[in-house]
Chain A
Amino acid sequence: MDYIISVYRKPKNYGKLENAHSKSESNPFCGDRIELFVKIENEKISEIKFTGEGCTISIFSAEMLSENFIGKNVNEIKSLSDEDYLKLLPISLTPTRQKCALLSFRIMKNILRDLEKN
């Protein structure tokens, strides 16, 4: 828990990115809201930042997502399921708290899906 709280209080990738793909979504259960900014170069994630407000789990997850996904291939991320994503986090979560953790992952997936459509 101490580790989660220290990440939550000072997430490294908190902030905005100019000229990036971005999307903001909230968790209808609790009102947590995250805006994700993603830059992609040659099908690889080059930069991720986020802003928003939420509980320790949702902010922690957004920070973990940004740290884990930078450098990853877009298709690799697309192929991840919710379960795969939750396994990347160094904590086990109850079903309700999983929703907090999955918020940023859902936004990431939606950004990639929108890009595919366009």
Chain B
Amino acid sequence: MDVKKIREDFPIFRKMINGKRIVYLDSTATTQKPYQVIEKIKEFYENYNANVHRGIYSLSEYSTELYEKSRENVAGFINAHPEEIVFVRNTTEGLNLLSYSFLWNFLKPGDKILISMMEHHSNFIPWVRLKHFNIDVDFINITEEGYLDLEDLKNKLDKRTKIVSLSHVSNVLGTINDVNEISKIVHDNNSIFVVDGAQSVPHTPVDVKKIDCDFIAFSGHKMLGPMGIGVLYGKYDILKEMAPFLSGGEMIKEVHINNIIYEDPPLKFEAGTPNVEGSLGLSAAIDYLKNIGMENVRDHEKRLTDYAFKKMDEFDDIVIYGPKNVEKRGGVISFNFNNGNRYIEKELIKNDIFVHPHDVAGILDSENIMVRSGHHCAEPLMDFYRIPATTRASFYIYNDEEDVDILMDGIKKVRKVMKIG
């Protein structure tokens, strides 16, 4: 993979701050965009803009065709059928759609939903909120190294468990959950298996038929696409039985005062004018990724993570969260300066070995190194490790070994400024 050449496709990397290039290590939050995606959006508004599924005139026919072609491209990317692809705003909306719709005509008081301790808030709150309707939510444990405890999953699965919703790849620990295996376990219990694919679909080949998941949600902006477009894949037979989420225009066949007939999926779930530019941008992003090859994306990130781990080994006061085995984790590295300990035993203020991630990120920013610091929308996981936050560096196709080296120099600067080590 020629990273230098890939970087040339991204206009933002031409930007210099204080005479230095940007080292962007926050692709887990959002990725940068290649000009192929940016141009596609511009092209749409300059040439084809009209509302979809409405007009008889040629422009509208054409924009509808483009929108539906995007859907086909997304479907092909994860080995699904186009009618199983619902366009949403992002992963969060996809998961909210599910919890709302299931509540409408599938869940009843006393039913149980299983999630895990490593979930992003977007796969946490939409389910935990259902407690208000007397639906139980239980949490699958994780091991100290950050693996999902499959025995605990088996123990907590019971007759009442209607849904199991888990992240494919953790946005903090990087853990790749064995969704193929989990899918079998969950389906043996006749429960529905929902996958949060926000951190997997952009980084590794995902085949929904192979996983045999019932749903997977992911965001366009985390895979080179624009913000505001995301995808919810669902098995057609289940989508057909589900109640709509948002309602209004676009999602109906007939509306009378006493009778409303909804559209078939996926339109049933796409009320209102959709994000056509977003779908085109996402489709262009998918073309870009397909051109590189998702196997290559995965291998590249694995190699970078391995390289970073070896470099970080030099610092014995740094603790890295999540699996050490790069085969079982993605290119997300969360770490803390804490004398190599995962847990914080003392009050921070009396602890002169811990450096708050905000300070780490602030000092790295002074070198144009962009990392994320905070709880990464995974506060239950922070509670599990008894830490307020971590610093997180994450990789994508435009990062290389040089970026890791610059990060290491940055880490040395943090130690110097904060007078540790």
Chain A residues in the interface with B (C-beta under 8 A): 1, 5, 9, 11, 14, 29-33, 51-57, 59, 97, 100
Residue with the greatest number of chain B CB neighbours at <10 A, chosen from A31, A32, A51:
A31
Q: Smallest distance from the beta carbon of A101 to chain B beta carbons, Å?
A: 11
Task: Tell yes or no: B90 within 8 A of A by CB.
Answer: no
Please report B residues at the A interface, Cβ cutoff 8 Å: 347-349, 352, 356-359, 362, 373-375, 379, 382, 388-389, 417-419
User: In the bound complex, do residue A9 and residue B358 qualify as a contact, i.e. CB atoms below 8 Å apart?
Assistant: no
* Residues on the A chain within 8 Å of B382, using CB: 31
Q: Is there contact, CB below 8 Å, between A11 and B349?
A: yes
Whether B358 and A55, one on each chain, are in contact in the complex, defined by CB atoms closer than 8 angstroms, is yes
Q: How far is the CB of B125 from chain A (nearest CB, A)?
A: 13
* Distance, CA A58 to CA B347, complexed state (A): 15
- Separation of A57 and B357 alpha carbons in the complex (Å): 12
In the complex the two chains form, is A31's CB within 8 Å of B419's CB? Answer: no
A53 and B352 in contact, given A30-B373, A31-B379, A100-B358 (Cβ under 8 angstroms): no
Minimal beta-carbon separation of B179 from chain A (angstroms): 29
A1 touches B389 (CB 8 A): no
- Contact among A11, A31, A52 with B375 in the assembled complex (CB-CB below 8 Å): A31
Q: CB < 8 Å: which of A5, A30, A52 contacts B358?
A: A30
Q: Given the complex, which residues of A lie within 8 Å of B359, measured CB to CB?
A: 55-57
Residue in A9, A53, A57 whose beta carbon sits within 8 Å of that of B388 in the complex: A53
**For A57, what are the chain B residues with a Cβ–Cβ distance below 8 Å?**
358-359
Is B349's CB under 8 angstroms from A30's CB?
no
* Contacting pair A59 B374 (CB below 8 A): no
B374 touches A53 (CB 8 A): no
**Neighbour of B374 across the interface among A30, A33, A52, A97, CB < 8 A:** A30
Q: How far is the CA of A71 from the CA of B120 in the complex (A)?
A: 45
- How many residue pairs link A and B with beta carbons under 8 A? The number is 51
For B348, what are the chain A residues with a Cβ–Cβ distance below 8 Å? 53-54
Q: In angstroms, how far is the closest chain A Cβ from the Cβ of B73?
A: 36
Q: Is the CB of B417 within 8 A of A30?
A: no
Contacts of A53 in B (CB 8 A): 347-349, 356, 388
A97 — nearest CB in chain B belongs to which residue? B362
Partner of B418 from A5, A14, A32, A59 at Cβ < 8 Å: A5
A29 to B356, CA, bound (A): 13
Q: In the complex, A45→B97 CA distance in Å? A: 51
Tell me the smallest distance from the CB of A63 to a CB of chain B, in Å: 10
Q: How far is the CA of A51 from the CA of B349 in the complex (A)?
A: 9
Measured between beta carbons, the chain A residues less than 8 angstroms from B374 are: 29-31
Question: Cβ of A33 and Cβ of B349 under 8 Å apart?
Answer: no
A32 close to B417 (CB less than 8 A): no
**Could you say which residues of chain B place their CB within 8 Å of the CB of A9?**
352
Across-interface contacts of B347 in A (CB, < 8 A): 51, 53
CA distance in complex: A33, B347 (Å) = 12
A5 vs B419: C-alpha distance when bound (angstroms): 9
Among A53, A97, A100, find the residue whose CB has the most chain B CB atoms closer than 10 A: A53
Q: Which of chain A's residues have a CB closer than 8 A to the CB of B389?
A: 30-31
Chain B residues within 8 Å of A29, by CB: 374
A11 to B356, CA, bound (A): 16
Separation of A106 and B32 alpha carbons in the complex (Å): 35
Pairs of residues from A and B, 9 with the lowest C-beta to C-beta distance, nearest first: A55-B358, A55-B356, A53-B348, A31-B388, A30-B374, A31-B375, A55-B359, A56-B359, A31-B389
Contacts of A51 in B (CB 8 A): 347, 349
Whole-angstrom distance from the CB of B175 to the nearest CB of chain A?
21
CA distance A82 to B135 in the complex (A): 43
CB within 8 Å for A30 and B418 given contacts A55-B356, A100-B358: no
Residues from chain A with Cβ under 8 Å of B417 in the complex = 1, 5
Give the contacting residue for A33; candidates B362, B373, B388; CB below 8 A.
B388
CA distance A5 to B414 in the complex (A): 12
What would be 20 A-B contacts, judged by CB atoms less than 8 Å apart?
Answer: A5-B417, A5-B419, A11-B349, A30-B357, A30-B358, A30-B373, A30-B375, A31-B379, A31-B388, A32-B358, A33-B388, A53-B347, A54-B388, A55-B356, A55-B358, A55-B359, A56-B356, A57-B358, A59-B349, A100-B358
Contact between B356 and A54 (Cβ–Cβ < 8 Å)?
yes
